[in-house]
Amino acid sequence: MICHVVYDQPPLTRAERANNVKKRNYFTKYSDTAQAVLENLLIKYADVGVQEIENLQVLKVQPFNDIGSLSDIIKKGFGGKPQYEQAISELEAEIYQIAQ
């Protein structure tokens, strides 16, 4: 709604925003494990919103626990917690990127 009012952009649903991120091939710079995690986080975002993807505990439930434990996902998928947090920050920036 803010983008609509401030930037005269059409309001988008979470699903539309998630689909836009997928179209931009944003995930290709990450490992296969990280790509799977980020794609699933994007699905979570479309379903319930950004708060869910910001919570580390989400990595303990389906479908993430099929990928590995919380520590495995963070260490093996991203290289550590700082890199994971950076990836989440970048994902959020991609979600809310204003269409050019």
CA 79 – CA 87 distance, rounded (Å): 11
CA neighbor of 13 nearest in space, from 24, 1, 22:
1
The amino acid sitting at 82 is P
The pLDDT tens digits of the residues spanning 45-89 come to 999 988 889 999 999 999 999 999 999 999 999 999 999 999 999
pLDDT of residue 12: 85
Residues 6 or more apart whose CB falls under 8 angstroms from that of 67 comprise: 33, 36, 37, 40, 73, 77
The pLDDT tens digits of the residues spanning 5-49 come to 555 567 888 899 999 999 988 889 999 999 999 999 999 999 998
pLDDT of residue 67: 94
CA 95 – CA 77 distance, rounded (Å): 21
The amino acid sitting at 63 is P
pTM: 0.82
